[in-house]
Amino acid sequence: MCGIVGIIHTDGKPVDRVELARLTNTLSHRGPDGDGFHVDANVGLGHRRLAIIDLESGEQPLSNEDGTVWVVLNGEIYNFKELRETLASRGHLFRTKSDTEAIVHAYEEWGVDCLNHLRGMFAVALWDARRKRLLLARDRMGIKPLCYYRAPGIFAFASEMHAFRSLQDFHPTLDYEALDLYLHFQYIPAPSSIYREVRKLPPAHYLLLDAQGNVQGPVRYWQFEFRPNHRLKEKDWVERIDAGLRDAVRSHLVSDVPFGAFLSGGIDSSLVVAYMSELMQEPVRTFTIGFEDDEYDERPFARYVSETCKTDHHGEV
């Protein structure tokens, strides 16, 4: 989990580095391993990092060779190694081993269509200095959050809405329709937020902002499609599901730091741990939180799965 922020003064006013740092550090809980900044006149990008891949040279914001494309990323790109190979074969030069740099060169190669080449969970912001435009995008399922604030003379974005309170130019008004949604559903669906001036970027959407503050979007770049195939038999579906789950778990095992899995003993977490145990050389570290009330305590189920999969298990009350 990382945190990304940005400020674009659409009236041309230079970005205040102190204000950008203040905005970025409101998300220090999302990225305790460091921060980074890039300022280009009226545009500023900030990043709080939780280091998982390329611990030495994966700092952000990260740019291309000539500094005309800058990216901040919250999340992971699971197919970044395959993308690196494809892009390197087309002449792109990489100076880090991070998944973030794959986005930089993918954008150089395919433009906004690079989003259709990314497999992962992400909220990404990219500043194209040549075109003087900002690209914001979220992953297909909306796993990583991203919201943005628009007001005369300013456009800002952040991983969490409370970050905007550190801006001098943040003067929000209550959105009563959003409040009504909250009272009905106990949450506010995207793209609304509790403030009229703040919007959540929906999953599988991108937004483009030019230097004058003109916005294109949000635009949907991917749509889930359900197409039944009645020609396949149950055995075929079982094989497809098995292959899909195995591939999904395998893609999540890329890390330069130790990792584990929460294990409740239910179907979802047990399946993930079972595939991890097959794919990893060492025992999977599994963790369970228990309760003194037996009705709510999942430790016996988790312990059974742990013993079956031979995991390095940790359970606490």
Q: Is 129 helix (H, G, I), strand (E, B) or coil?
A: coil
> How many Cα atoms are found within 13 Å in the side-chain-facing hemisphere of 162?
7
Helix, strand, coil percentages, rounded to 5, for the chain: 30, 25, 45
Cis peptide before 191 (omega within 30 of 0): yes
Q: 189-217: buried (b, 16+ CB within 10 Å) or exposed (e) per residue? A: ebebbebebbbbbbbbbbbbbebebeeeb
Active site positions, annotated: 2
DSSP string, 191-234: T--SBTTEEEPPTTEEEEEETT--EEEEEE---------TTS-H
Q: Which residues contact 9 (CB under 8 A, 6 or more apart)?
A: 15, 42, 43, 153, 154
Q: Is 275 helix (H, G, I), strand (E, B) or coil?
A: helix
The amino acid occupying position 312 is D
Alpha carbons 59 and 125: distance in angstroms, whole number: 15
